Structure 1
Amino acid sequence: MSESKLLLKRRFWFLAFPDIKKPIGGIKQIHRISEVINTLGFSSYIVQDHCDFKPSWFTSNIEAVSKVDFFQTIKLDKLRDVIILPETFISALKEIYPSIPKIIFNQNGGYTYGIQGAKYPSPSHIHNYYHDPIVKQVWCVSEFDRLFLSRAMQLPTSKVFRIFNSVESTLEQLPLKKNLICYMPRKNKNHSDVVIELLKKQSFLEGWKILPITGLSHSDVLNVLSFCQFFLSFGHPEGFGLPIAESLSLGCSIVGYNGLGGKELFDFAGRYGCSYSVDYGDFYGFVHGLSSLIHASQLNSSDYIYQSTKMAEQIRSIYSESSMTNSVLDAIEAIAI
């Protein structure tokens, strides 16, 4: 059988359990990448606890398979199937269909060696897992993590692939911005609680409203962001920082943590005067950064609007659906089984 025909028959299985109802950006991106794989002519499935579970905060047309069926009913072929597992599943690498080729989808380099409070193998064992021959590729979602995997972990560059996240904001004409500052309290909530309390005491915020984004569907989140002028970022560590990218794509300036993986986003927005990076734990940095950007936006409002609009256009161009599709295709075509 020719290689092209083999590629067309290839099946990809994303491991995404347990079923979690609350918004997790990485889960949405797994669905989006799975959709891309299907549009490219391959087959892609998401393995969940229950096949009928559907995240309520975004839409998806991906076929889900229950964990029970995946492990007990479905027959996998090492010449056809590829299992894609998150970096947090690394300890199960040898236990899940040991002979089936694997891709580690590392969406957050900060979790490579474990999450605080959870039990993980030693760093040396994790290093060995990543270099195991059964791991055909390692995917990541930012340049920061790509360099970490290829340089610090010394993985061959031919094995590490950057998958571009795409922002889903499609507005060509942004609505008139309001005096709104928004943030998401679900990451480092203790930090956001402190910062918001400090901001409430600042005179420069008279006439401004600070709005937490929580419990909304993804489309509603994008709608809120489209009216906000500033987004406070509390995510750390981040493999990429999708809320940061989505905020920028809708013309918001950003203040806060770049999460390491979001450094490229802060750097890009900084060229337009639309970002202020804050060191992790520097609560006053949020106050100073927000004050600086608000002052800049009021000093020359027409120029600031122009710059933020151009920045948003460029972000939507760089982190587009076509960028994601091309990066996924490049990775798939390079898989050697």
Structure 2
Amino acid sequence: MKIYVFCPDSKEIRGGIKQLYTMVDRLNEYGYDACLIHSRPSALASWFHHDTKHVFFPYLFFLLRHIIIKKDTHSFLFKLKKWLFINKELPEKDAVIVFPEVYGPDVVHLLPQNPFVIFNQNCYLTFHLFNFNENRKSPYLADNLLGAVVVSEDSKRYLQYVYPLLSVQRIYLGLDPCFMLGMEKKKKIAFMPRKLSEDALQVINIIQAKSLSIGWEIVAIEDKSEFEVAEELQDTMIFLSFNDQEGFGLPPVEAMACGCYVIGYMGRAGVEYFKEEFCSPILERNVIEFADTVGRTIAEFDCTPQITIEKGRTASQFVHQHYNAINAEDSLKTAWEKLLVKK
């Protein structure tokens, strides 16, 4: 069974990219013949170590730009020359293609004869590139669609509500081994500014304006490898989550794995791991409640640190119990066995 997993040519550090690589690695472990698709060698991810089997189909990305994205600003002559000389090799017509969820209704025209699966890592991007008065057939209703793979119960409910007849398979994400419980916690607050930066800016400035964070270090985590992020979280006591309509929302889970006390937004999908016994969920976009909760948590830690530390350890136990390699491998294997029944 040949399976190709289409991966966007992005050099940005994105967890969703790594999940595509991971899917290919595990499918090969299960005995499938799986390959990651990129357009060229320079597009391969360099921010984490991998030996993922891959292949290059530049013509497929040429079609992507012209059929789906439709934003190529090059001249007609340039595009004609590129079309004439580009390697037009495409996947075998009986191969299964895995597409991300972000390519909209026209994704069905890329490889119309191939059976395909949609790996939907964020259900809130399901209708990306759709119009308000959409008259194109949804790819989720295509005859050659085998089904969809999702990474949270929230995404599963979303797709099953919209497309009741769709085969939706939920898989579990597995935490990288580097995200382990940190034994020595400092008075340190960490957050990722790329998530709802306007809210992060307000919360950080509010707690500073009210002198709530005196004696605490505040660290913005950005442009770091997974190992560097884990290293930063090992001695962090409080992590601020700015999740926003996430398919899963991995950063707060990684912080919990390291024993951080997490405060912040669940981002919809986070309802399955934001448990009040070991973290503080905040109503989305309520920056005053957010800042006030940070202030109260700081005060509690300054008075009785062991209470907050124990909550962080409980959080670590919870996420390692649910989002581990065994659950990730078993759920992906089961998902593909069910998807391929239709084929």
- 1:73 aligned partner, one-letter code: E
Q: SS at 2:283's partner residue?
A: coil
Give the structure-1-normalised TM-score: 0.86
- The match for 2:64 is none
Distance 1:99 1:242 in 2: 35
Aligned pairs for 1:142-221 within 5 A: 142-156=152-166, 159-170=167-178, 174-221=182-229
Q: Deviations over 1:165-204 (max 9, x none)?
A: 1111446652301111111111222222222221221323
Unaligned runs of 5+ in 1: 1-9
TM-aligned CA deviation for residue 69 of structure 1: 6.1
**Contact in 1 for aligned 2:174/2:328 (Cα 8 Å):** yes
- What is the CA RMSD across the aligned residues, in angstroms? 2.1
Distance 1:14 1:126, change over 3 A: farther
Q: Deviations over 1:295-334 (max 9, x none)?
A: 4444543343233213202211210111111111111111
- The match for 1:13 is 4
Distance 1:62 1:225 in 2: 27
Distance 1:236 1:137, change over 3 A: same
TM-aligned CA deviation for residue 153 of structure 1: 3.3
Q: Tell whether 2:283 aligns with 1:279.
A: yes
Q: SS at 2:5's partner residue?
A: strand
Runs of 4 or more consecutive aligned structure 1 residues displaced over 3 Å after TM superposition: 121-128, 169-173, 295-300
TM-aligned CA deviation for residue 95 of structure 1: 1.0
Q: Deviations over 1:130-153 (max 9, x none)?
A: 122211111111111111111243
Q: SS at 1:228's partner residue?
A: coil
Distance 1:62 1:69 in 2: 21
Distance 2:42 2:49 in 1: 14
Q: Tell whether 2:23 aligns with 1:33.
A: yes
Q: What is the aligned residue count?
A: 315
Aligned pairs for 1:209-288 within 5 A: 209-267=217-275, 270-271=276-277, 274-288=278-292
Q: SS at 1:307's partner residue?
A: helix
- The match for 2:33 is 43
Q: Tell whether 2:149 aligns with 1:135.
A: no
Distance 1:66 1:204, change over 3 A: same
Distance 1:139 1:330 in 2: 11
Q: Tell whether 2:57 aligns with 1:67.
A: yes
Q: Tell whether 2:92 aligns with 1:102.
A: no
Distance 1:225 1:242 in 2: 13
Q: Deviations over 1:30-87 (max 9, x none)?
A: 1112211111111222212213433232122112222326682244142xx2111111
Q: SS at 1:219's partner residue?
A: helix
TM-aligned CA deviation for residue 231 of structure 1: 1.1
Larger radius of gyration: 2
Q: SS at 1:262's partner residue?
A: helix
- 1:132 aligned partner, one-letter code: A
**Contact in 2 for aligned 1:100/1:134 (Cα 8 Å):** yes
Q: Tell whether 2:100 aligns with 1:86.
A: yes
- The match for 1:325 is 329
Q: Deviations over 1:99-158 (max 9, x none)?
A: 1111111111111112xxxx42457657732122211111111111111111243244xx
- The match for 1:7 is none
**Contact in 2 for aligned 1:169/1:316 (Cα 8 Å):** no
